[in-house]
Amino acid sequence: MLDKLPQRLHPQAKKALHREMNTETREQAEEALSHFVADYEAK
């Protein structure tokens, strides 16, 4: 997924993905994924 983003966004996106992977519940993971998509989807 990171290879589709500009190099300058990799550190931020990687942190966001790690937040999603390290959540305790599925609901938290889905919320984190929603934030990731909102921040990094094609505009």
pLDDT at 1: 82
Count the alpha carbons within 13 Å of 20 in the hemisphere toward its beta carbon: 15
Task: Compute and round to an integer the Cα radius of gyration of the chain.
Answer: 11
pTM comes to: 0.76
Give me the number of domains the chain comprises.
Answer: 1
- Domain ranges, residue 33: 2-40
pLDDT at 34: 95
The predicted-structure confidence for 1-43, as pLDDT tens digits, reads as follows 889 999 999 999 999 999 999 999 999 999 999 999 999 988 7
- State residue 26 phi and psi, 5-degree precision: -65, -40
Alpha carbon distances (Å) from 29 to 2, 7, 11, 13, 43: 18, 25, 19, 15, 23
